[in-house]
Amino acid sequence: MSEERSLNFLEEIVEADLASAKHTIIHTRFPPEPNGYLHIGHAKSICLNFGLADKYGGKTNLRFDDTNPVTEDTEYVESIKADVRWLGFDWEEEHYASDYFDQLYTLAVDLINKGLAYVEDMSAEEIAASKGTPTEPGKESPARSRTIEENLRLFTAMKNGEYNDGEKVLRAKVDMASPNMHMRDPIMYRIKKTNHHRTGDTWCIYPMYDFAHGQSDSIENITHSICTLEFEVHRPLYNWYIEQLNTFPSTQFEFARLNLTYTVMSKRKLLQLVQENLVDGWDDPRMPTISGLRRRGFTPASIRNFCEKIGVQRRENIIDFGLLEFCIREDLNKTANRRMVVLDPIKLIITNYPEGKSEILKGENNPEMEDNGGYRDLPFSRELWIESEDFQEVPQKKWFRLAPDMKVRLKSAYIVQCTGFNKDAQGKVTEVLCEYIPESKSGSDTSGINVKGTIHWISADSALNAEVRLYDRLFNAENPLDEEGDFKSNMNPNSLVIIPQAKIEPDLKHALPGDQFQFIRKGYFCLDPKFTTAEKLVFNRTVTLKDAWAKMGEK
RNA sequence: UGCCCGAUAGUAUAAUGGUAGUACGUCAGAUUUUGGUUCUGAUUGUCUUGGUUCGAAUCCAGGUCGGGCAACCA
């Protein structure tokens, strides 16, 4: 019944490697640098790495690529671990590149001893200048001809703190004329007299990415080192270190990073939004971060499903944000309890319903579930709140909500017929007058009347208030980076609309932070864990419902 | 005017020399006590020019377009 999905290119590689006995077990890793929060692009990488190992009975490590103490912090380490777990993955081993500093140092010394690394005296600017350009070869540094003994002495001195930042670096001796810029004697170690979040002041020299990452893979016996396309040109260097040091032959494979419409994905740009207070932190529900999506109401399953649906390839791509919305609706439709909430209330008065009378009706929790997911109480009385947009004084064509003389069903209650309305001094409709049909009670309707429209409502005397936050896309442009000027100039000014006093049904007072609901006809919402207090409930809109009516309006 | 990579409906992703399929989107219809859900149908595609072949999205060559590479970042 579950038809075979065809393999993606990484699965094909793994199957081939297993079939040829190149590897008997596969070992992947997810290697974030702890310098920011994880985003949906990382989720793709996580699903790929863990998914591959799961599928083929292998293992996945979590490794923090913490080789640059200037930008990294334990705060990020903790958030990353929490996010990976929340997504539903558990790592085999937890490692830190900083745990390998001793081993990496030994490997560097090994390379010096082989005459394949040397200590450089030039400044960063001088190195850059002598590196040449993509079309012209670089020039070999005078330091390239230092003796092994001198290199060992100088490298030890670097390690011992005898030089200041920038005075010396260790370089691999590869090829200054290589057409690949990364092979022109790349830097292996630089001096940074900065406190490291894990190793403190033990080290003042830190390995560069190309050296540290590849060798960390080897140390952990990673068979398939999966990274994004921009590292493709680094692969020859990755392989060079392995060959020269004769370490475990990990292999690097690249895939295209995820791009999403109407947002930005680079850590640098997300950091800017946070630092300039354009959003409410890394976990702002509008952010494409895992923590933002979580607060917005996305479920781990919906994100995993999304990653499955987008597939993986080596070509640049930009995924429609609508696909993510589809995934969360698909999930929540099956699991979220239905509740009635009126965002923009006007009064509906049932003139033939006795004053002072009230009754308790039953509302199904979820029609998609077995036994409708059970029922909750819905107090009903003469005065109700309804959505102001559900009444039109002069109905437009194909309108089947309330308008003079028209009938609608009040969800889970009675059919009512509009008999009139009242306006305030400004001409705004404030009250809609109706008569109800007693025989039309939900579940025991003997009226024989069929109506096209059903609207949501809340009994005025038992309604509670809550703040509701409506989120929309963060940027107006599909790809904010394609537009003229600063990407921030394309931000959507209406990406957050706060409704301070929405009317909610009484049952919602039992909601717990993170609980998810479908507000009937309005969308999926969750109780915000950050702003909700004992006195005030705050709901975040995860996503709207599909709205065929609104779509007709656009045409 | 260097090196590397890529190009299949609007967006993604299959087809591994043999009928171009799937999902999302869009459009239409049915069902519906959510203009939701569900169901049915429709819609639109192999960048280009040559070559190899009985047969090319697939292999080869040229072109075009797009992306990446010259941080003591990862």
Q: Between the CA of A370 and the C1' of B56, what is the distance in angstroms? A: 52
DSSP 8-class letter at A421:
E
Give residue A555's pLDDT: 59
Q: How many angstroms separate the CA atoms of A441 and A415, rounded?
A: 7
Q: Residue A520: helix, strand or coil by DSSP? A: coil
Residue-level pLDDT at A553: 81
Which protein residue has its CA closest to C1' of B22?
A5
Mean pLDDT of A477-484: 88
On strand B, nucleotides with any atom < 7 Å from a protein CB are 1-8, 10-16, 23-27, 33-38, 66-74
- Cβ A527 vs Cβ A539: under 8 Å: yes
Which residue, counting CA atoms, is nearest to the C1' of nucleotide B67? A316
Beta sheet of A94-96, edge-to-edge order: A27-30, A59-64, A94-96
Is residue A441 among the annotated active site residues?
Answer: no
Tokens at A446, concatenated = 């003997």
Beta A429-437 vs A415-423: how paired, if at all?
antiparallel
Q: What mean pLDDT do residues A374-401 have?
A: 96
Q: Which of A267, A294, A441, A521 is catalytic?
A: A267
From A81, A139, A198, A257, the catalytic residue: A257
A486 touches strand B (CB under 7 A): no
* CA–CA separation, A218 and A348 (whole Å): 70
CB of A190 within 7 Å of some strand B atom: yes
Q: Is the CB of A33 under 7 A from strand B?
A: yes
Task: Answer for the pair A412, A361: CB distance below 8 angstroms, yes or no.
Answer: yes
A400 touches strand B (CB under 7 A): yes
Helix (H) or strand (E) holding A218: helix A209-219
Q: How confident is the model at residue A420 (pLDDT cuts 50, 70, 90)?
A: very high
* Cα-trace Rg, chain A: 31
Query: What pLDDT was estimated at residue A552?
Result: 85
Distance of alpha carbon A244 from alpha carbon A463, whole angstroms? 73
Sorted by sequence, the CB contacts under 8 Å of residue A433 that are 6+ apart come out as: A349, A351, A418, A419, A420, A421, A422
pLDDT at residue A1 in the model: 34
Structure tokens at A426: 């400004």
What is the per-residue pLDDT across A174-208, written as a single tens digit (0 to 9) for each?
999 999 999 999 999 999 999 999 999 999 999 99
Pairing between β-strand A407-410 and β-strand A415-423 as defined by DSSP bridges:
antiparallel
Residue A295 (CA) to nucleotide B22 (C1'), in angstroms, measures 32
- Closest nt to A368 (CA→C1')? B37
Provide the CA A447 distance to its chain's centre, in angstroms. Answer: 50
Work out if A310's Cβ lies within 7 angstroms of strand B. yes
- Chain mean pLDDT for chain A: 96
Long-range contacts of A173-177 (CB under 8 A, 24+ apart): A173/A115, A173/A116, A173/A117, A173/A118, A173/A144, A174/A237, A174/A240, A176/A130, A176/A131, A176/A132, A176/A137, A176/A138, A176/A139, A176/A140, A176/A141, A177/A132, A177/A137, A177/A138
What is the SS3 assignment for A187? Answer: strand
Residue A392 has a CB neighbour count (10 Å cut-off) of 14
Q: A337 CA, B39 C1': separation in Å?
A: 24
- Known catalytic membership, residue A33: yes
Q: For strand B, is any atom closer than 7 Å to the CB of A182?
A: yes
A317 touches strand B (CB under 7 A): yes
Is the CB atom of residue A453 positioned under 7 angstroms from any atom of strand B? Answer: yes
Q: Which residue has the higher pLDDT, A555 or A50?
A: A50
How far apart are alpha carbons A242 and A116 in whole angstroms? 13
CA A443 to chain centre: 42
Instruction: Report the Cα A550 to chain-centroid distance in Å.
Output: 28
The amino acid present at A186, given as its one-letter code, is: P
Name, in order, each residue with C-beta under 8 angstroms of A66's C-beta and a sequence gap of 6 or more: A33, A34, A72, A77, A96, A97, A98, A196, A197, A198
Q: Taking a C-beta distance cutoff of 8 angstroms, is the pair A467, A502 a contact? A: yes
State the pLDDT at residue A4.
66
Cβ-based contacts (< 7 Å) between A 43-72 and strand B: 65, 67-68, 70-71
Beta bridge partners of A493: none
Interatomic distance A409 CA / B34 C1' (Å):
11
- State the Cα–Cα distance between residues A96 and A92, nearest whole angstrom: 13
Q: ipTM score of the complex?
A: 0.96
For residues A341 and A464, the answer to whether their CB atoms sit within 8 Å is: no
**pLDDT, tens digit, 9 for 90 and up, residues A507-517:** 999 999 999 99
The nucleotide minimizing the C1' distance to residue A392's CA is B35
Mean pLDDT (whole number) for A544-548: 96
Q: How far apart are the first and last CA of chain A?
A: 40
A131 touches strand B (CB under 7 A): yes
Q: Which of residues 223-242 of A touch strand B (CB under 7 A)?
A: 229-234
What tokens appear for A498 in the block? 């706060």
**A207 close to A219: Cβ distance less than 8 angstroms:** no
**Interatomic separation, CA of residue A284 and C1' of nucleotide B69, rounded (Å):** 34
Tally Cβ neighbours within 10 Å of residue A454.
17
Residue A201 CA to residue A183 CA, distance in Å, equals 31
Give the CA A323 to C1' B25 distance in Å. 9
State pTM to two decimals. 0.96
The structure tokens listed for A157 are: 């001195």
Residue A241 burial (CB count, 10 A):
23
What pLDDT is attached to residue A485?
A: 82
Instruction: Tell me, yes or no, if A63 is annotated catalytic.
Output: no
CB count in 10 Å sphere of residue A450:
9
Taking alpha carbons only, the member of A465, A474, A526, A519 closest to residue A496 is A474
Instruction: For A321-342, write each residue's pLDDT tens digit.
Output: 999 999 999 999 999 999 999 9
Is the C-beta atom of A124 closer than 7 angstroms to strand B?
yes
DSSP secondary structure, A125-153, as one string = HHHHHHT-BTTB-----GGGG--HHHHHH
Q: What is the pLDDT of residues A52-71, one digit of tens each?
A: 999 999 999 999 999 999 99
Which of residues 74-103 of A have CB within 7 Å of strand B? none
Task: Please report the pLDDT score of residue A484 as a whole number.
Answer: 79
What pLDDT shows up at residue A2? 40
List pLDDT tens digits, range A516-539. 999 999 999 999 999 999 999 999
A34-47 tens-digit pLDDT? 999 999 999 999 99
Beta bridge partners of A383: A349
Distance between the alpha carbon (CA) of A217 and the C1' atom of B20, Å: 40
Q: CA of A29 vs C1' of B72, distance in Å?
A: 27
Query: Does residue A439 lie within 7 Å of nucleic acid chain B, judged by its CB?
Result: no
Are the beta carbons of A412 and A362 closer than 8 angstroms? Answer: yes
Question: Dihedral sign, CA of A400, A402, A403, A407?
Answer: positive
- A251-307 pLDDT, tens digit per residue, is 999 999 999 999 999 999 999 999 999 999 999 999 999 999 999 999 999 999 999
User: CA–C1' span, A313 to B63, in Å?
Assistant: 25
* Tokens at A81, concatenated: 């671990």
CA distance A13 to A434: 68
Q: What is the CA A404 to C1' B31 distance in angstroms?
A: 28
Percentage with pLDDT > 70 across chain A: 99
